[in-house]
Amino acid sequence: MVTRRNFTLAAAAAALTAAGPVLAAHAASGPSTEAASQRPITIIVPFAKGGTTDQVARLIAEPLSEAMGTPVEVHNITGDWGNTGAVIAATSAADGHTLIMGQTGTHVVSNRHGMAKRFDPVADFAPVGLVGISPITFVVRNSLPVSDLADLEAYLKDDPASLSIAHGGHGTPSHIGARKLKLALGSENLAEKTYASTMAAMEDLALGDADIMATSLPQALPFIKAGKVKALGMASSSRNIALPAVYTGTQQGYADLRASHWNGLFAPAGLKPEAQAKLASALAKALGNQSTQRKMRELGIHVPFAEQQGPKALAELQAREIAEFNVTA
């Protein structure tokens, strides 16, 4: 578990520099109650701009700001496949002014299976609420002569050493999706090609320098629509309104091929219950905004149902996935 005592001054200084002047100013001074009420809320995105987590954070920032009556800013803090930003969030003041847009990589898979334990994804955070869920989508370079998952399975059986599957690093949705696709196609030996980020992998796929990817729909959608990559299917129970012509794995005969990417807001542990409740209520209001819902659907993101929202539901989702990945990851 991260504590402010074991997070060294040198590391803190470097982290705050990376986080930008807003977070540095927060740590450097102890504002009065009046000043604190005027301070913006910062959502840390522990990944690069343009990815699904970044898109979700920027989409929700404005309606959340309106619901809270406080400015909401988004700060990208990259490094160590999301862990750098997560450590900064975990060691920030638990006053409701610093949040993190978490996901499977940072709040389920991180620190497991040989990774350095830099923070505890449960003990170091207070859940606020689930923000969105999107299906993992399977895409390939345009020059690959396959049009669906069965074609890809046959191609891999004929020449398994000729292809590799790209992903954005350990624990990322593209990594989890890659593992599930390999298992579903019976191609567990398919080589994995690791990139510094999922966006870097997608860009290489669009250039034809990578072969296969399994990534979140919002990440892949612009490349699919621009004709830069081919979509073979998605790991969901039903087709997505943002990409209705693409069949699911189940529809193609791969019933066990299920995987999704979720994003949820977390605050540092120690957040007062009333502050947690206020943030959760504001998030629910933001998610109920019709404009927000329309924009999320256009990106292929499912807006959580009422029973999926709130701190308790997010904590339960996180616990279920931690239990699953302890066994399967």
Task: Inform me whether the pLDDT recorded for 42 exceeds 90.
Answer: yes
List, for residues 136-193, the tens digit of each pLDDT value.
Answer: 999 999 999 999 999 999 999 998 888 999 998 877 888 889 999 999 999 988 999 9
Q: How far apart are CA 67 and CA 69, in angstroms?
A: 6
Q: What is the pLDDT of residue 113?
A: 46
Residue pair 48/121 in contact (Cβ under 8 Å)? The answer is no
Quote the pLDDT of residue 245.
93
CATH 3.40.190.10 domain extents, the chain: 135-260
- Percent of the chain topping pLDDT 70: 85
Determine the Cα–Cα distance for residues 200 and 49; give it in Å rounded to an integer: 11
Strands 72-76 and 164-167: unpaired
Residue partners of 183: CB distance under 8 A and separation at least 6: 256
Outline which parts of the chain fall under CATH 3.40.190.150.
9-134+261-328
Strands 98-103 and 41-45: parallel
| Angle at CA of residue 263, ends 258 and 267, nearest 5° | 145
Across the range 295-322, mean pLDDT stands at: 94
CB-CB contact of 76 with 49 (8 Å): yes
| DSSP H or E run through 236 | none
Task: Tell me the per-residue pLDDT of 212-255, one tens digit each, with 9 for 90 and over.
Answer: 999 999 999 999 999 999 999 999 888 999 999 999 999 999 98
pLDDT given for residue 192 in this prediction: 94
**Which CATH code, of 4.10.520.10, 3.40.630.10, 3.40.50.1950, 3.40.190.150, is assigned to 9-134+261-328?**
3.40.190.150
Q: How far is CA 188 from CA 104, 137, 183, 184, 214, in A?
A: 22, 19, 6, 9, 14
Model pLDDT, residue 296? 94
Please tell me the distance from the alpha carbon of residue 90 to that of residue 123, in angstroms, as a whole number. 9
Q: Which of 7-21, 30-44, 170-184 has the highest mean pLDDT?
A: 170-184
The HSE-up count of residue 224 (CA atoms within 13 Å, CB side) is 25
Class of domain 135-260: alpha beta
Q: How many helices (H) and strands (E) does the chain have?
A: 13, 9
